[in-house]
Structure 1
């Protein structure tokens, strides 16, 4: 089978490798689509970062080189012994977390915070291949009315949904989203699914503003408007109930902290390439807080799949598919240059 094998910084090769065979408690999946994540870009251009370069990961026993890809969907083609509640032919999305099951977060059901967490496609051979093998606890069934291509978006949309839940919003809340990339779009869909109608998306890029506006979102251009002043005017100085940073830049943090109300959260969904030096006076004087978020749990997957089954998510204008043979040229390079929003890889081409 064909697979995208990662060998290190700027080293990704499309190779012929043997098809995997499921072991105890595992299933084999024929991959339909695998999304390119920002993490994949970081690994290619700056890595290895999360991918173990030499010492095998304690939960997977795998180190570089390995097949990348952790945002994917497909069809079950083989079921290993001991894998229950799944059958050949099942259409599935994959929740790619490996967890130990023994640490305090795992015992509390917060396995996204597992102290030895691993990810399919980062600490094991992943989904940017024609076939992959996963533990059965990573499987989520897709209803028939969700296209397999859409199923590849369950993972990133669950990242956004998990963050939206941490915002502690209600259908009467007002929210701000910084960044209109895929996670920012996912946040907008998640908050809309929770009943919010007062949502503004702060984005300086005209291309990204246009993409999310086409979906029905209201946007603010921070290069032409003082966002904090505008929000203060709209809310009579009360501020928004929650802000979400999916931009990952210091100006977004500084602006958001000036926009949220007292004792309200700024949820950080981003990875920051540079250390933040934002003054905390706005947190202290108004008892505001910055809340981190990472990944998702099965609850988030189920919520996103339920919304998808209702036709809640629209991929028009921001999701494209490319052949795996062109994953670097049409994929990584286009995304890094900002010419594309979200790309799904077809492993059969």
Structure 2
């Protein structure tokens, strides 16, 4: 089968590799669409210790079941050849206290398809049957490929708490920021301020109902403070991960409010600790999603409450390397690239 192999920083190549065979508890899926994630862009550059070349990346995907392992056929009789599915690529290899609490993404033994094992930038991929979710009737494979990033946004919305009628700030209008905007609006948020340097992405955020801000033209903190009568927002989300964006989120948040950190651009950065302490601001991380968040993402997509059209681009798998470069340099009016094997 054809597979897109990451061989070294900024080096992708389409290679012929053996088609995988599913283990007894696994299924073999013919990949229909596989999205390019921001974490994979970081890996492509060689900045992500989780991913080591040579590697078949790809963890946001959908496809059709081709083969079901013997044990999987008994334990998951609803999984049959021809069924359209999406996959939760983040799962526990061993039981843990976090898994018991429904926080599989925090398991010490967590495994990610496309990082710890071959992913979906290929014609076929195998995965444990327990990670597979059949798509609801009427839901396209194209839409199903968005489930994983939407689940990340659902987690952010859950951790944000009750935002009905409240204003929220998001710094970063990449795919996750745009999806988080939609989740927060769906949860009843009043105004969602969204900040980015890219004019195309700001246009997308505005089209989705956000209040767009270019920090080169207006100070996000001053603008948010002025718009909220000096109080600040109860929830600010950093979807970039720089010291400056994290600090801006703290400054724009009202006393006793919440700063949610999800961007991972910088591993470490200074934070205004004294301001956080004196104003009793809560700072929380948001990492990936729970199985319940993943299921909720499927429902939101199936009901048409969230999406990234008309800014989705479909491209042949062979052009994957070109699209990695374009997304790093000048993506244009593109919110998500879906590769087609």
2:136 corresponding residue in structure 1: 143
Deviation at 1:103? Answer: 2.8
1:88 corresponding residue in structure 2: 81
CA distance in 2, matches of 1:228, 1:279: 14
2:23 corresponding residue in structure 1: 23
Q: Deviations over 1:279-314 (max 9, x none)?
A: 212201110022111111221111111111111123
1:56 corresponding residue in structure 2: none
CA distance in 2, matches of 1:19, 1:148: 21
Deviation at 1:72? Answer: 0.4
SS of equivalent to 1:156: helix
Deviation at 1:341? Answer: 3.3
SS of equivalent to 1:223: coil
1:14 corresponding residue in structure 2: 14
**Gap change, CA 1:234 and 1:116, over 3 Å in 2:** same
1:131 corresponding residue in structure 2: 124
Q: Deviations over 1:129-157 (max 9, x none)?
A: 11111101111121132221111111111
Do the aligned residues in 2 keep the contact of 1:35 with 1:343 (CA within 8 Å)? yes
Do the aligned residues in 2 keep the contact of 1:101 with 1:111 (CA within 8 Å)? no
1:335 corresponding residue in structure 2: 327
CA distance in 2, matches of 1:241, 1:82: 49
Gapped runs of 5+ residues in structure 1? Answer: 54-63
Deviation at 1:189? Answer: 1.3
SS of equivalent to 2:253: coil
Deviation at 1:326? Answer: 1.1
SS of equivalent to 1:12: strand
Match of 1:304 among 284, 297, 304: 297
CA distance in 1, matches of 2:9, 2:28: 29
1:222 corresponding residue in structure 2: 215
CA distance in 1, matches of 2:94, 2:189: 35
Relative to the length of structure 2, the TM-score reads: 0.93
Per mean C-alpha deviation after superposition, the further-off stretch among 219-228 and 108-117 is: 219-228
2:163 corresponding residue in structure 1: 170
Deviation at 1:274? Answer: 5.9
Gapped runs of 5+ residues in structure 2? Answer: none
Do the aligned residues in 2 keep the contact of 1:193 with 1:307 (CA within 8 Å)? no
Deviation at 1:47? Answer: 4.9
| Two-structure CA RMSD over aligned residues (Å) | 1.7
2:57 corresponding residue in structure 1: 68
Do the aligned residues in 2 keep the contact of 1:211 with 1:317 (CA within 8 Å)? no
CA distance in 2, matches of 1:88, 1:105: 32
**Gap change, CA 1:66 and 1:177, over 3 Å in 2:** same
CA distance in 2, matches of 1:104, 1:143: 31
1:180 corresponding residue in structure 2: 173
Deviation at 1:162? Answer: 0.7
Deviation at 1:36? Answer: 0.8
CA distance in 2, matches of 1:102, 1:40: 27
SS of equivalent to 1:66: coil
**Gap change, CA 1:344 and 1:259, over 3 Å in 2:** same
Deviation at 1:278? Answer: 2.8
Q: Do residues 346 (structure 1) and 335 (structure 2) align?
A: no
Aligned length in residues: 335
Q: Map 1:36-47; keep pairs closer than 5 Å.
A: 36-47=36-47
Q: Do residues 278 (structure 1) and 271 (structure 2) align?
A: yes
CA distance in 2, matches of 1:153, 1:296: 14
CA distance in 1, matches of 2:152, 2:230: 31
